[in-house]
Structure 1
Amino acid sequence: MDFTEKKVKSDYKFHGKIMSVRVDDALLPNGKPCKREVCEHVGGVGILPIDENRIVTLVRQYRYPYETTTLEIPAGKMDQGPEEALECGRRELAEETGLRAGQMIPMGELWPSPGFMTERLHLYCAKDLTQGETHPDDDEFVEIVRMPFDELCQRIASGEIHDAKTVAAIGKALIMGL
């Protein structure tokens, strides 16, 4: 069975720094018309830094849409012009935590919310870490938090950590034996 929907027309409603929003007129597989709301996102990278003692470096930061502080892996958007995911990951890791990774192990790509968003999030596990200076963006206020990998797993299992990229990165690391 063919589940493909056909885009007929797009109407952009908003263009921002990291996303654009459009409403499409489309045709369902049975030929009936429908509307699809789409958020086009620039994409990003999440990095799970694990040192030789299985200590994970996380960042605590305020997340405006949820009006709360979160604990999550370092991450960022691919907003530096044409940028490869690996380059973005190294840059974001250094900016937010000051860490440099001797090894960046690819853990795949996630689609955080494919029902309405085009965001592609690339995950890496950073190993062979050395500490340097942080260089956060002007609008970025983060606290570095280090904790054992097993404790992070427990906090995810208990529901304390809600951030999807962090939960996914830990799951991928466990599956991959990292």
Structure 2
Amino acid sequence: MDTTENGVARTNGEHEFTTLASDDAYVGKILALRADEVAMPGGGQARREVVEHLGAVAVVALDEHDEVVLIHQYRYPLGRRLWELPAGLLDVAGEEPVRTAQRELAEEAGLAARDWSVLVDVATSPGFTDECVRVFLATGLSDVDRPAAVGDEEADLVIRRFPLAETIRMALAGEIVNGPAVAGLLAAQVVRDGRARPRPADAEWPDRPSRFAAR
């Protein structure tokens, strides 16, 4: 076992970060904030604040013209509207992620898809939250009726199709900044170019959040 200059033993990736104590600071409808005391390498301990989240899905809906459906949605924390993929929370108990994605695509974009696969799983900010988003690829699109009842923010949605290549330009230019959208669109381009294959729609998802849903 090596040591650093200040004499603290290095564990070289073998340390177990055991939770010594845990307290809830806030519990809301879609997230919770807890504060943990964690055993650290060298024998000390440190406080880690963790935002628990339900998790979410997003959809790259790609039509026969290589155009992608994006929505323009107001995001209150950033104080502006963002171009994003159709997406939604995993907030229905027992619902499989692909079914959530299908429901959200219908509700937000008025679309169904014949073929579904997994592009990427995105841990949005693992330094402080367990939120993870699974991004699906949906092809073979067809129109369906959107539900008549919509939420407050959904009433303001703008739905538009962009060429896939244009969305890549937008992402690289900083015009699309939503993390799952950037990752999903780049992955879709790689798949479309034949340089990689997506995973099955029911692929294992080891990092799917579970702690908040279990409360």
User: Do both proteins adopt the same fold according to a TM-score greater than 0.5, normalized to the shorter chain?
Assistant: yes
Q: Are the equivalent residues in 2 in contact too, given 1:97–1:133 (CA < 8 A)?
A: no
Give yes or no for the alignment of 1:138 onto 2:135.
Answer: no
Task: Please say if 1:147 is aligned against 2:159.
Answer: no
For normalisation by structure 2, the TM-score amounts to: 0.79
Computed over aligned residues only, the root mean square deviation of the Cα atoms, in angstroms, reads 1.3
Q: Which amino acid aligns with 2:186?
A: G
Match of 2:182 in 1: 167
Aligned to 2:31: 19
- Tell me the alpha carbon deviations over residues 3-26 of structure 1, each in whole angstroms, 9 at most, x when there is no partner: 431111110011111101100011
**What is the match of residue 41 of structure 2?**
29
Structure 2, unaligned runs of 5 or more: 1-11, 194-215
Q: 1:81 aligns with which of 77, 83, 93?
A: 93
% same residue: 34
Q: Secondary structure at the match of 1:175?
A: helix
Offset of 1:160 from its aligned partner?
1.2
Q: TM-score, normalised by structure 1?
A: 0.95
Give 1 or 2: higher strand fraction: 1
> Is contact 1:13-1:23 (8 Å) kept?
yes
2:78 and 2:127 map into 1 onto residues whose CA distance is 20
Give the paired residue count: 178
Which residue of the partner structure matches residue 72 of structure 2?
60
Runs of 4 or more consecutive aligned structure 1 residues displaced over 6 Å after TM superposition: none
Q: Contact 1:24–1:37 (CA<8 Å) still a contact in 2?
A: yes
Q: More deviation in 40-49 or 155-164? A: 155-164
TM-superposed CA distance for 1:168, in Å, is 0.3
Aligned pairs for 1:102-117 within 5 A? 102-117=114-129
Report the equivalent of 1:48. Answer: 60
Q: Secondary structure of 1:66's partner?
A: coil
Where structure 1 has 5 or more consecutive residues not aligned to the other structure, the ranges are: none
For the residue of structure 1 that corresponds to 2:92, the secondary structure is: coil
Partner of 1:129: 141
Q: Find the aligned partners of 2:163 and 2:18 in 1 and give their Cα distance.
A: 48
Contact 1:103/1:126, CA 8 A, preserved across alignment: yes
Higher-Rg member (1/2): 2
